[in-house]
Amino acid sequence: MNQLNLDHATASAVFNKNEPRVDWHDETLWFVRAKRDRAAALIPEWEDLREAASQIKNHVLSNMHDLLVQFEENARKNGIHVHWAANADEHNDIVLGIIQKTGANRMVKSKSMLTEECHMNNFLTSHGIEVIDSDLGERIVQMRKEPPSHIVLPAIHLTRADVGETFHEHLGTEKGATDPQYLTEAARQHLRDTFLTRKVALTGVNFAIAETGGFVVCTNEGNADMGAHLADVHIAAMGFEKIIPRAEHLGVFLRLLARSATGQPITAFSSHFHKPRPGQEMHLIIVDNGRSRQLGRTEFRNSLKCIRCAACMNTCPVYRRSGGHSYHSAVAGPIGSILAPNLDMKLNADLPFASTLCGSCSNVCPVKIDIHDQLYKWRQVLMREGYGTTGKGAAMKAMATVLESPRLYRMAGKIGRGVLRFSPAVAENRFNPWFNQREMPAPPSESFRDWYVKNKKS
């Protein structure tokens, strides 16, 4: 079952064939949303904090050029090698070049959604570089040759039994073992050996500080630190939107990030890197890959405010019931659905429609991105640019013709109700998606207007 080649609706239908599994997935993520609610409720100034974060990010978007230049200059002064990548290919080439220069043929990597976006692992593997993901969730999906299904909880689609099976196969744990403590210990031993033997480590970047030329990486496991502090070469990769003006702004973001993500007050490690340790080489890659284009889209630019907390995924009733893989994109869920069309409209034209526009996402978002409004706006753009099917366009045109004409509307209503009353089979069949799991509403003999004209208009 490879959901990645299917559109969202089809992949979701596959996902929903196993209803108990959907229930489990939904409950597991709802549990995370509930933890987020409890953590946020403990902060009396929560809504003001969101507003502050949103305003800081608005400033960042508007001052991006100068902040990037300032950051680069300060990072260089700190002894960090700064690279610029216009797109995914350039990013991957830069990483490969750095690794090859060290003579290494393997690397340990902590979580970086950017490298997922760039499909870096496959690229490096094809050039003979072994990459081991060190975040536990990422390691699990890597062993299973799957992409992460969630940006914070990469293996959230898997049960402990699934993980037990995977570890039995790859790490030699006991068959049938499913205790998370036992399984985590096995991964700890396996990855500890990896950390101790790799010369090159790659990490993502949560925040880059223009004022000081340093960057912050947040993890709970400590895997980014283990990799970076033991390696001779540390590569950090960031989308350019990760920039913030000053270190004191971290006070706002670090208060919001983990609470929004998992309901923790802060991640276990919030590590601030400014200089390589003596004898170490530190590289930082600043990646565009469509971001400057998105910055120019007035209606969609503020999607670049995202701090990748995934609160919008955990709260999304569609995500919880369709699974991350149904979004066939490195970043799934509501935020992914407004980012992905910028990367490829044709490939991702289905994603803005994978929503009921319920608006929960926009209201959990710690930086106040108007996600559901952008989903609506992407729909307009995608249809205008011709990424809808011709059938859909024709159906909509026909619908509009009826609905804009009082006479046609009344006629269609009358005929429709009549047909449903006397020949329900016209609608009650397997070709009607509504009828698949729902009964049709009972059609009345008269419309409200009929009643009104009869009873109210003299």
| Footprint on residues 283-342 left by another protein (CB under 8 A) | 286, 288, 292-293, 295-296, 298, 301, 315, 317-318, 321-322
CB nearer to another protein: pick between 346 and 449: 449
- Range in contact with another protein (rule: CB under 8 A) among 125-133, 169-177, 268-276, 330-338: 268-276
**Selected binder of another protein within 145, 404, 430, 458 (CB under 8 A):** 404
Inter-CA distances, 50 with 298, 300, 301, 392, 441, Å: 21, 19, 18, 39, 43
CB nearer to another protein: pick between 106 and 245: 245
Listed residue (225, 332, 306) closest to 269, CA to CA: 225
Least distance in Å: CB of 360 to another protein?
6
d(CA 340, CA 334): 10
DSSP 84-136: EESSHHHHHHHHHHHHHHHT--EEEE---HHHHHTTHHHHHHHTT-EEEE-SH
Residues 29-48 that bind another protein (CB under 8 A): 30-32, 37, 40-41, 43, 45-48
Least distance in Å: CB of 130 to another protein?
19
Least distance in Å: CB of 101 to another protein?
19
- The dihedrals phi and psi of 401, each to the nearest 5 degrees, come to -60, -40
CB nearer to another protein: pick between 176 and 433: 433
Does 120 bind another protein (CB under 8 A)? Our answer is no
Does 389 bind another protein (CB under 8 A)? Our answer is no
Least distance in Å: CB of 100 to another protein?
19
**Selected binder of another protein within 103, 391, 422, 448 (CB under 8 A):** 448
d(CA 197, CA 81): 23
Note whether 158 and 131 are within 8 A (CB). no
Does 281 bind another protein (CB under 8 A)? Our answer is no
Instruction: Please report, as a single letter, which amino acid is at residue 32.
Output: V
Q: Is 32 helix (H, G, I), strand (E, B) or coil?
A: helix
CB nearer to another protein: pick between 172 and 418: 418
DSSP 156-210: TTS-HHHHHHHHHHHH-PPTT---HHHHHHHHHHHHHHHHHH-SEEEE--SEEET
- Binding-site string for another protein from residue 212 to residue 251, where x marks contact by CB under 8 A and - marks none: xxx-----xxxx-xx-xxx---------x----x-xxxxx
Does 135 bind another protein (CB under 8 A)? Our answer is yes
**Selected binder of another protein within 88, 208, 364, 369 (CB under 8 A):** 364
Does 183 bind another protein (CB under 8 A)? Our answer is yes
**Selected binder of another protein within 88, 143, 155, 338 (CB under 8 A):** 155
**Selected binder of another protein within 81, 170, 363, 427 (CB under 8 A):** 363
CB nearer to another protein: pick between 62 and 128: 62
Least distance in Å: CB of 404 to another protein?
3
**Selected binder of another protein within 5, 20, 176, 397 (CB under 8 A):** 397
∠306-307-308 over CA atoms, to 5°? 95
Q: Please give the DSSP secondary-structure letter assigned to residue 277.
A: P
Does 188 bind another protein (CB under 8 A)? Our answer is yes
Strands (DSSP E) along 233-362, which ranges? 233-239, 243-244, 269-273, 281-287
Residues 422-441 that bind another protein (CB under 8 A): 432-434, 436-441
Does 93 bind another protein (CB under 8 A)? Our answer is no
End-to-end Cα, the chain, rounded Å: 64
Instruction: Please report, as a single letter, which amino acid is at residue 264.
Output: Q
Listed residue (391, 363, 348) closest to 33, CA to CA: 363
Residues 6+ apart with CB under 8 A from 424: 440
Residues 58-87 that bind another protein (CB under 8 A): 58-59, 61-65, 68-69, 78, 84-86
**Selected binder of another protein within 401, 411, 418, 428 (CB under 8 A):** 401
Least distance in Å: CB of 364 to another protein?
5
CB nearer to another protein: pick between 105 and 447: 447
Does 267 bind another protein (CB under 8 A)? Our answer is yes
d(CA 428, CA 422): 12
Note whether 246 and 210 are within 8 A (CB). yes
Applying CB under 8 A, the site for another protein has a residue count of 171
d(CA 430, CA 449): 32
d(CA 368, CA 359): 12
CB nearer to another protein: pick between 128 and 161: 161
